[in-house]
Amino acid sequence: MNDLVSIMKGKVVVSSLQVAEHFHKRHDRVLRSIENLLGGLPKNGETPGKMFFKSTYTEVQNGETYPMYFMNRDGFSLLVMGFTGKKALEWKLKYIQAFNQMEKLLTERQTAVWLETRKAGKLTRRSETDVIKELIAYAKEQGSKNADMLYMTYSKLANKIAGISQRDLASVKQLNILDELEGMIYHVIKLGMAAGKHYKEIYKDCKRRLEWWQDCTFRLA
């Protein structure tokens, strides 16, 4: 859900590209709607510059740079107010939920509990990366040509099970889950190397262990 919005300079925002994609609008028409709004907004109170932020993006296909906008909740609300239809309503509700979740997270990130949880998680993460470093050397000895990718491989595994995309955008609950998962990964890798297992089997063991944990957690929840 949080993939719908992002954080820019401490504000929760969504891009005009995302709006165009999800509401099935041509991007140039979304830009025109935003510029019409900017031209009609009063210059006092909530100024346009606080709701819409002009930017650019590069088109992958041709390498050309084009204009786009980021907007906060108020800008988004103004823009999509006139979008009608069942699908439009569904996306409006999804974005309201995404804004609410991200704003709640921003508030939570300022608390002592979040900061202490993040700090504690970094210690577990350091132990995990140290053992993955050992695993990389171990895998290379077994003939792996892509052993350096193991950091990313194990990070993706833990993040997927924890349900996060970025650690700095994780809740206290998710950080605690991630800490537990990375502790499991550390021990499974240690035991696997001590037993002389193939590095691919060690990954399979980690994946099975984390998925078993996830299954048990959801069944008990």
Q: Which two tokens stand for residue 20?
A: 């165009």
3-class SS string, 150-210: HHHHHHHHHHHHHCCCCHHHCCHHHHHHHHHHHHHHHHHHHHHHHCCCCHHHHHHHHHHHH
Three-state secondary-structure class, residue 22: helix
How far are the Cα atoms of 25, 138, 163 from residue 187, in angstroms, in the given order?
Answer: 50, 16, 21
pLDDT of the residue at 13: 94
pLDDT at 105 (0 to 100): 86
Distance CA 91, CA 98 (A): 10
Residue 38: per-residue pLDDT? 86
* E strand spans, 25-64: 52-58
pTM over 0.85: no
| Sheet with 6-8: strands ordered across | 6-8, 11-15, 65-71, 52-58
Report how far Cα 154 is from the mean position of its chain's Cα atoms. Answer: 16
Q: Give the pLDDT confidence score for residue 4 in this predicted structure.
A: 87
Q: Which residues of the chain have pLDDT under 70?
A: 1-2, 41-49, 218-221
Q: CA-CA distances (angstroms) from residue 85 to 22, 37, 82? A: 13, 21, 10
In three-state secondary structure terms, 105 is helix
If you count DSSP H runs as helices and E runs as strands, how many of each does the chain have, helices first? 9, 4
